[in-house]
């Protein structure tokens, strides 16, 4: 049985750990409010921008726009967005696992894969793989739209040069404070919406005819680069909110585990102290009996 001093020392250490995890939980909760507000304010804009761009692209055919060029896919670039910091449960691991499965599937199909790692966790995970073309660590804590623009321009340049035929973004989407799931979407080439096989009425409603001023081509020239910026920034906002939510949950679980450990150690401490007192009483009684004899 451990000594009282050892058990008391362990209780003190676990209490200090509990104080740290509780503080980290509170910090994550405070940061989550701001990150979630930014993400929720931007999400409708990004989704409507995506819908508008794909509908707009349906009327142009994409022949005059290199960013809409659909070609045989021989090389794929994955933009993997994770956080810079850990201590957020399995959030980053789930994103990296999806990226690894996607890489394995694409390489199994005979396609070349390159990576753009956004966030320190993805950079550290893949840096020895030999597939990282570009990395952007230490930006997820304070990123702005210009960071997303830099990443979007880099990937677009690689696509236009013919180094890759398709660009996908893998990130963690925020569903709720308790649920964050890895997802991916195709960034390039920009494609019109696929036919869903709806009835004629549904098709007519979803493919209404619009009059554009200026022409669709002129609008597309301006909006295509902006579209890439918006979609990359959207993924970064989702990851930021998801990171703080996952860390808040992880630190809450850690605090509860510390409290359970303190209760168990306190029980051991009391049992050890009681055993010591019982032993001392036995020694006293034995000594008294020996004196009587």
What is the Cα 86 distance to its own chain's centre?
Answer: 11
State residue 193's pLDDT score: 66
Choose the catalytic residue: 88, 117, 164, 258: 88
The single-letter DSSP state of residue 141 is T
CA dihedral 211, 68, 43, 226 (to 10 degrees): -80
209 confidence band (pLDDT: 50, 70, 90):
low
278 confidence band (pLDDT: 50, 70, 90):
confident
Domains of the chain: residue spans and CATH: 42-249 (3.40.1380.10)
State residue 195's pLDDT score: 47
* H or E element that contains 132: strand 132-136
Q: pLDDT tens digit string along 24-42?
A: 999 999 999 999 999 999 9
Q: pLDDT tens digit string along 249-261?
A: 999 999 999 999 9
What does the angle CA 181 – CA 182 – CA 185 come to, to the nearest 5 degrees? Answer: 125
Question: Is residue 88 among the annotated active site residues?
Answer: yes
Is the pLDDT at 120 greater than 80? The verdict is yes
State residue 203's pLDDT score: 44
Is the pLDDT at 5 greater than 70? The verdict is yes
């Amino acid at each position: 049985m451990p000594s009282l001093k050892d058990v008391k020392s362990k209780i003190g250490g676990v209490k200090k750990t509990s104080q740290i995890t509780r503080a980290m939980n509170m910090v994550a909760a405070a940061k989550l409010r701001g990150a979630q507000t930014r993400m929720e304010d931007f999400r409708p804009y990004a989704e409507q921008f995506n819908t508008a761009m794909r509908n707009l692209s349906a009327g142009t055919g994409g022949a005059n726009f290199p960013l809409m060029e659909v070609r045989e896919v021989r090389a794929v670039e994955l933009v993997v967005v994770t956080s810079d910091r850990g201590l957020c449960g399995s959030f980053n691991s789930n994103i990296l696992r999806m990226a690894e499965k996607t890489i394995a599937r694409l390489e199994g199909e005979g396609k070349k894969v390159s990576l753009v790692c956004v966030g320190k966790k993805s950079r550290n995970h893949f840096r020895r793989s030999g597939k990282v073309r570009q990395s952007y660590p230490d930006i997820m804590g304070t990123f702005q739209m210009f960071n997303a623009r830099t990443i979007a321009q880099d990937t677009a340049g690689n696509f236009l040069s013919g180094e890759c035929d398709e660009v996908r973004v893998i990130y963690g989407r925020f569903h709720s404070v308790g649920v964050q799931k890895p997802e991916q979407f195709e960034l390039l080439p920009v494609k019109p919406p696929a036919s869903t096989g709806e009835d004629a009425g549904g098709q007519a409603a979803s493919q209404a005819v619009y009059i554009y001023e200026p022409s669709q081509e002129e609008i597309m020239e301006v909006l295509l680069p902006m579209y890439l910026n918006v979609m990359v920034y959207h993924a970064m906002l989702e990851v930021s909110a998801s990171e703080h939510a996952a860390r808040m949950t992880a630190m809450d679980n850690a605090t509860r585990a510390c409290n359970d450990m303190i209760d168990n150690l306190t029980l051991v401490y009391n049992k050890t102290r009681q055993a010591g007192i019982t032993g001392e009483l036995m020694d006293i009684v034995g000594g008294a009996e020996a004196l009587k004899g």
